[in-house]
Amino acid sequence: MSGHPGARRSITPSQLHELAKRGDSVEVIDVRTPAEFRSVHIPLAQSQPLDSLDPRAIMAARPNQAEPLYVICRSGSRSAKACSAFEAAGFGDRVVNVEGGTLAWEQAGLPVERGRSVMPLDRQVRTAIGVLVLLGVLLGALVNPWFYGLSAFCGAGLVYAGLTDCCPLAWTMAKMPWNRAGNHAPTCSVN
């Protein structure tokens, strides 16, 4: 594990896998959407979507609250946000971010459990924006110039998402039936 006082603790997928193989107590939560979790996840992980994350409830329900809680997502971005939420709730010394997320875990050749495949949320969002921009340009050129506004609207949405790190389109896409399981509300983050 890496880190120094005041820095977020992190662990590589290989280090985490070694801890589990040694028989150490390893509890991992995966903060991706339920559909992403169903598609592929590490065998140790339990689904706990970022959008419904309640750090106090999670910590209170743990059998051994003194042991580290490992947090993983797709690439490390959402798990870092989850770790920040745990830190804000006063549990920063007990959470550890898994560096590189599930992608790094797979790239290290470590075992995963696979289910029904779903396109990752960030790719769904990029595809939808691309289609809307292209549609706006085509309709603007062929039907009425007012349709260029659709492309401008998409551009404004991308600027907003970049500045705030909250993407309303990702939030909406996460509500789609193929991205849902249970009664979880969608998340703003897409990585």
Catalytic residue among 73, 83, 154, 167: 73
Amino acid at 22: R
- Is 73 a known active-site residue? yes
Among residues 73, 90, 75, 91, the alpha carbon closest in space to that of 31 is found at 73
Spell out the residues 6+ positions from residue 7 whose beta carbon is closer than 8 angstroms to its own.
none
Task: Name the residues annotated as catalytic.
Answer: 73
